[in-house]
Homo-oligomer: A and B are copies of this chain.
Amino acid sequence: MEAPTSSVQRPTFAVQCPIPISEYPIVTLAHGGGGRLTQMLIERMFVPAFAPQGEASRNLALEMLHDGAILQTDGAARLAFSTDSFVVSPRFFPGGDIGSLAVHGTVNDLAMCGARPLALSVGFILEEGLPMDELWRIVQSLAAAAKCAGVNVVTGDTKVVERGKADGIYINTAGIGVIPAGVDIAPRRAQAGDLVLINGPIAQHGIAIMSVREGLAFETAVESDSAALHGLVGSILDCAGDRVHVLRDPTRGGVSSTLNEIAGQAHIGIQLNEASIPIDEQVRGACEILGLDPLYVANEGKCLAIVAREAGEAVLAALRDHPLGRGAAIIGEVVADHPGKVVLRSRIGGRRIVDMLSGEQLPRIC
């Protein structure tokens, strides 16, 4: 063990708030929406605050702004480490609930680092008055999702707050995964010429939630795509190895915000082909009714893969071979033009910049 580094000294704070208080005096829903304001909070407040001092030890893990951090331990294994809190409303929705979502969300963050999930922690924040049998249903769903994903819940914590101080139940999960040798997934690896793939139709999770909230009725219910993607990611990696450059799940903020993040981090341009982007007709219809652009609607079982061009067809075949990738498609490519920007070529041939989500579109979607 190392020498004692803790003490009872109190830090003093002289640094001004890095978010302009005059413009943003309070936290708003948009700060949690996965778009511009979330990014501002992360980049201006969290990354500088949590960056260790000293030249040699920049907080590379956090700076990568990946879905999870990658750690090198004393042993040989590289570990992925990730966390997510879940505040979805309603707690039960077509295709899932807050329990299964809490497993899928963190398993997917690990998978997007190329990691095989090893263990999960679960932290419950419960509101006094939550029906005990509802907690039991959620716990069973969470446990079933973990078993189904082949990952163990190994540690946990439970807090209860007074009535009115939470909304039934919030769940945090954190996960540890092991990254196999030879896997190197990171935004910086995206390069001009790469292809952009997705494993199926977009916007299902967001529309499943919204249809419950808005009381929309469809011929058949739109179900959330919530699912654990590490098996599918395993198939891609088996097939293409280090020609898989970037993986990311387009959750809050949707496909557009996620690709904008990657474009910004990798200083590359991304060109999307609207006609190639898979979307269910009913979901498209619901988006029109609700005035939502499906490119900004959350997914919980989708994976964007940026792969070397020569591996594109093989990865597409591997995806389509997997139960969670039947509707996979190549939807775009990485270009040297317009670095930092995502451009959509529309069905009728026009081009428009597809920006990051600004403001809050769908609060408490996950």
A interface list, Cβ under 8 A from B: 1-9, 11, 13, 15, 17-19, 21, 24-33, 38, 41-42, 45-46, 49-50, 52-53, 57, 59, 61-62, 66, 68-69, 71, 73-77, 79, 81-87, 116, 118-119, 121-133, 135-137, 139-150, 152-162, 164-167, 170, 172, 174, 176, 178, 180, 227-235, 237-238, 322-324, 363-364, 366
Contacts and interface: CB of A to CB of B under 8 A. Distances in A.
A231 B160 contact: no
Copies in the complex: 2
6 contacts: A1-B235, A11-B140, A27-B130, A50-B146, A59-B152, A83-B123
Contacts of A42: 156, 158
A68 B155 contact: yes
A232 B4 contact: yes
Contact of A6 (B9, B135, B228): B228
7 closest cross-chain pairs (CB), A and B? A75-B75, A1-B234, A4-B231, A32-B160, A174-B174, A11-B144, A69-B154
A139 B77 contact: no
B174 A83 contact: yes
A27 B155 contact: no
Given A18-B136, A133-B17, A166-B166, A62 B238 contact: no
A14 to B, nearest CB: 10
A151 to B, nearest CB: 9
A125 B79 contact: no
Given A6-B229, A74-B178, A86-B159, 20 more contacts: A4-B323, A5-B149, A6-B148, A6-B228, A13-B141, A31-B160, A50-B143, A50-B152, A52-B152, A57-B152, A59-B153, A59-B154, A69-B155, A74-B76, A76-B76, A82-B155, A83-B123, A83-B155, A83-B172, A161-B170
Contacts of A50: 122, 143, 146, 152-153, 156
Contact of A75 (B29, B77, B127, B234): B77
Contacts of A125: 85, 87, 125, 170
B228 A26 contact: no
Contacts of A11: 140-141, 144-145, 148
Contacts of A17: 132-133, 136
Given A26-B131, A136-B18, A170-B125, A364 B161 contact: yes
Given A11-B141, A69-B119, A85-B124, A29 B180 contact: no
Nearest to A111: B1
Contacts of A85: 123-125, 157, 159, 172
B71 A118 contact: yes
Contact of A160 (B15, B29, B230, B235): B29
B118 A73 contact: yes
A124 to B, nearest CB: 7
A317 to B, nearest CB: 15
B157 A83 contact: yes
Contacts of A231: 1-6
